[in-house]
């Protein structure tokens, strides 16, 4: 029987639309609503760079086996952009004005601001401008940079020029007196006559090109580090996937520009006057009002760890489970810092996928190497859009004496694990760290994740086995002798174990026993795992899913799917199998996507400690009780707000978890 699935791209767009609707929610603080517009725009830019190229290629090939997804995707993007414009112009701009904050939006410059704008144009902006006259009847004469902003200027006598908007070098917004704000684009627009003094401007329209980011490093020869550096250069020269233009542009000019820049019709997208609105995240706040942003939340401290002289000693006695950002990330930094200076620590192993630009963790690893410890770091150079940062840190660590392992051929290392080996007499203590999110103290402020610190002999020994494997780089098939009993490791046992756990629940249901599965993921797309869930639901298993982003599973009898979009980005992966009341609980790095299960090294780990098992179940229960920001995904891929029952109190999961964690 064919497995019925949602299209992954339409599912992702459904998620991004939920992000967009947060900007329309009056319960969300004003500047946070503006920030959600920025997140929506940033997400859509990445979608255009990563997913649209594949859809365009399939469309051009007219592959009969593929449904006509591209037109549906383009219609949905167009619809969402219309909603974006309505929220921005009809809701947020008036809301800002009600707070005496005025963002210029396609309107004349007030005389009181002319001097300030004129001074900024001549002393700052003008030095970054590169006006270029173009002949639309000639072959292409210039290259439009990826995601850069440009103004197409029309003159009398059918002349045209293109002017860059240097938002990469200058702030996108200029704060003016009387709590007014103006786009950099409009600063340039107001002074086009001065930029082209001998010509009469008849029109000005914004454009932006997004280019394909999916370039395979295997195209390049040589060492992987050099391959990635070459790929970074090539990426910015990728083929166009989206040509965003001002919808007020005359059709004739639009078509001539498309021909001039060799843009296919399906790559043309009508937009508003302003593009690249991810920059709204940097909108100045001339009125400092605490009500404009989320109230500051102080992460909880763990008293036992605060009182401990040595975190590593504490972990040797008992596991530690952290829930960030509700609890302090400082304990993770302390794990690496203590390992770096402890004279008895001899070896440190860690995987790095996305690293903070000023990473304290990497600096601790560099210090450890300089302190004479053997430090081995698997740096994933193919972490999309973080490649340059990872290359930079890899070079710095290597210069300091850190042993750097680069990506395994054909695989990405997405696991978030570390291992410290400490000498005690004639033996070694193993202290492991396993997480659902990256070792990144920057994103840890707004990504919800779980981190386990453990000295469990079985888990830490299996972690050491995994690091031995990663140092060889040989295919997993050469390591069938590796037996992972506690850890679930993609390429070895992860898919088989999850499949067995689902089927066991189905067997319990068929035997008339209670059978339940609760799974929280970022993305659910892998066809075989979805088929297993369908079969389990058909057998009578009660399945509840919390899926933030892509969900290709179609909800049906026995399977409920909900989505939570709120202040923090829900990032943790949690798996709970009822097992006749003896639950098995796992966490880890692996979403159920083709790439995660079949083309990556992932690690999921069990939660054994009774207290932490209770905490995990309590946190998941609060997320399942959310009736303010949670939505139910229906069979038409629509987000349906959770209905609050009569007399039921409001439950916001993230606020409730924050309060709960402070009681632990």
Q: What is the mean pLDDT of residues 617-635?
A: 97
pLDDT per position as a tens digit, 277-328: 999 999 999 988 999 999 999 999 999 999 999 999 999 999 999 999 999 9
Residue whose tokens read 């979805």: 530
477 CB neighbour count, 10 Å cutoff: 7
Question: Residue 279 sits in a domain of what CATH number?
Answer: 3.30.1840.10
Residue 384, marked binder: yes
Both 493 and 478 in one domain: the answer is no
Q: Tell me which residue of 479, 450, 448 sits closest to 615, measured CA to CA.
A: 450
Last residue of a domain, one of 449, 466, 482: 482
Tokens matching residue 373: 């410890």
pLDDT at position 527: 96
| 168 vs 3: CA distance, rounded Å | 46
The predicted model scores a pTM of: 0.92
Both 493 and 477 in one domain: the answer is no
As a whole number, the mean pLDDT across the chain is 91
pLDDT per position as a tens digit, 529-571: 999 999 999 999 999 999 999 999 999 999 999 999 999 999 9
pLDDT per position as a tens digit, 459-474: 999 999 999 989 887 6
Q: Domain for residue 42, yes or no? A: yes
Residue 75, marked binder: no
Taking every pair of Cα atoms in the chain, the longest distance, rounded to a whole number of angstroms, is 88
Question: Residue 433 sits in a domain of what CATH number?
Answer: 3.30.870.10
Q: Side by side, which strands form the sheet with 132-134?
A: 132-134, 159-165, 149-155, 201-211, 240-246, 268-271
Point out the catalytic residue in the list 180, 414, 456, 578. Answer: 414
Using alpha carbons only, give the angle 550, 52, 531 rounded to the nearest 5 degrees: 35
Q: What is the DSSP string of 482-527?
A: ---SSSEETTTTHHHHHHHHHHHHHHHHHTTS--EEEEEES-B--H
Residue 354, marked binder: yes
Both 472 and 493 in one domain: the answer is no
Residue 548, marked binder: yes
Tokens matching residue 321: 């489970």
pLDDT band with cut points at 50, 70 and 90 for residue 220: very low
Both 111 and 154 in one domain: the answer is yes
| 638 vs 10: CA distance, rounded Å | 10
Answer yes or no: 414 catalytic. yes
Both 428 and 516 in one domain: the answer is no
Q: What is the mean pLDDT of residues 106-134?
A: 95
Inter-residue contact 231 to 222 (CB < 8 Å): no
Residue 440, marked binder: no
Inter-residue contact 592 to 524 (CB < 8 Å): yes
Q: Domain for residue 2, yes or no? A: no
Ranking 58-67, 134-143, 368-377, 384-393 by mean pLDDT, the lowest is: 58-67
Q: How many CA atoms lie within 13 A of 230 on its CB side?
A: 12
Structural domain that includes position 309: 303-482
Both 373 and 249 in one domain: the answer is no
Give me the number of domains the chain comprises: 3
Ranking 219-233, 270-284, 589-603, 639-653 by mean pLDDT, the lowest is: 219-233
Q: What is the mean pLDDT of residues 430-457?
A: 96
Last residue of a domain, one of 292, 311, 334: 292
Residue-wise burial string across 601-622, b where 16 or more C-beta atoms lie within 10 A, e elsewhere: bbbbbbbbbeebbebbbebbeb
Residue 43, marked binder: yes
């Amino acid at each position: 029987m064919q497995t019925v699935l949602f299209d992954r791209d339409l599912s992702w767009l459904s998620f991004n639309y939920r992000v967009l609707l947060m900007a329309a929610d009056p319960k969300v603080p004003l500047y946070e609503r503006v920030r959600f517009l920025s997140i929506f725009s940033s997400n859509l830019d990445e979608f255009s760079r990563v997913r649209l190229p594949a859809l365009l290629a399939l469309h051009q090939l007219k592959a009969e086996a593929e449904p006509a997804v591209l037109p549906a995707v383009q219609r949905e993007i167009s619809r969402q952009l219309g909603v974006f414009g309505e929220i921005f112009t009809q809701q947020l701009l008036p809301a800002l004005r009600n707070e005496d904050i005025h963002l210029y939006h396609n309107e004349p410059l007030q005389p009181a601001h002319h001097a300030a704008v004129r001074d900024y144009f001549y002393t700052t902006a003008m030095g970054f401008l590169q006006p270029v006259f173009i002949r639309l009847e000639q072959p292409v004469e210039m290259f439009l940079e990826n995601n850069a902003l440009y103004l197409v200027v029309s003159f009398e006598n059918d002349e045209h020029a293109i002017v860059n908007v240097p938002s990469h070098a200058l702030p996108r917004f200029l704060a003016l007196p009387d709590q007014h704000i103006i786009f950099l684009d409009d600063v340039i627009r107001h002074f086009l006559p001065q930029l082209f003094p001998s010509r009469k401007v008849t029109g000005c329209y914004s454009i932006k090109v997004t280019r394909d980011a999916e370039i395979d490093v295997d195209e390049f020869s040589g060492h992987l580090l050099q391959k990635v550096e070459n790929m970074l250069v090539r990426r910015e020269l990728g083929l166009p996937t989206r040509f965003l233009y001002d919808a007020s542009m005359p059709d004739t000019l639009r078509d001539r520009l498309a021909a001039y820049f060799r843009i296919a019709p399906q790559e043309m997208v009508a937009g508003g006057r302003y593009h690249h609105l991810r920059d709204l995240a940097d909108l100045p706040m001339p009125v400092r009002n605490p009500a404009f942003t989320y109230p500051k939340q102080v992460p909880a401290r763990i008293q036992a760890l605060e009182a401990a002289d040595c975190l590593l000693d504490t972990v040797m006695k008992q596991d530690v489970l952290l829930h960030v950002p509700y609890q302090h990330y400082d304990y993770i930094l302390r794990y690496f810092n203590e390992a770096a200076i402890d004279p008895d620590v001899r070896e440190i192993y860690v995987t790095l996928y996305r690293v903070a630009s000023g990473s304290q963790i990497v600096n601790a690893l560099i210090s450890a190497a300089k302190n004479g410890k053997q430090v081995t770091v698997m740096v994933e150079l193919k972490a999309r859009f973080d490649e340059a940062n990872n290359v930079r840190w890899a070079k710095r660590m290597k210069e300091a004496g850190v042993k750097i392992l680069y990506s395994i051929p054909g695989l990405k290392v997405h696991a978030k694990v570390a291992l410290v080996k400490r000498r005690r007499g004639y033996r070694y203590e193993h202290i492991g760290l396993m997480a659902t999110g990256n070792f990144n103290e920057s994103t840890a402020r707004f990504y919800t994740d779980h981190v386990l610190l453990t000295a469990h002999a079985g888990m830490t020994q299996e972690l050491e086995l995994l690091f031995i494997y990663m140092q060889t780089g040989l295919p997993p098939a050469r390591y069938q002798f590796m037996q992972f009993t506690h850890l679930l490791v993609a390429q070895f046992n992860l898919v088989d174990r999850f499949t067995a756990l689902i089927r066991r629940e189905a067997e319990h249901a068929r035997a008339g026993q209670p059978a339940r599965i609760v799974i929280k993921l970022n993305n659910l797309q892998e066809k075989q795992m979805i088929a297993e869930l369908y079969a389990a639901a058909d057998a009578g298993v009660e399945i509840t899913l919390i899926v933030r982003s892509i969900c290709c599973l179609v909800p049906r009898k026995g399977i409920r799917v909900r989505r939570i979009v709120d202040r923090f980005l829900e990032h943790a992966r949690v798996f709970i199998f009822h097992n006749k009341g003896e639950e098995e609980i796992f966490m880890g790095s692996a979403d159920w996507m083709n790439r995660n299960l079949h083309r990556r090294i992932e690690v999921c780990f069990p939660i054994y400690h009774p207290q932490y098992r209770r905490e995990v179940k309590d946190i998941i229960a609060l997320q399942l009780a959310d009736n303010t920001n949670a939505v139910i995904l229906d069979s038409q891929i629509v987000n349906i707000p959770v209905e609050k029952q009569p007399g039921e109190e409001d439950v916001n999961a993230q606020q409730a978890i924050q309060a709960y964690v402070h009681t632990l």
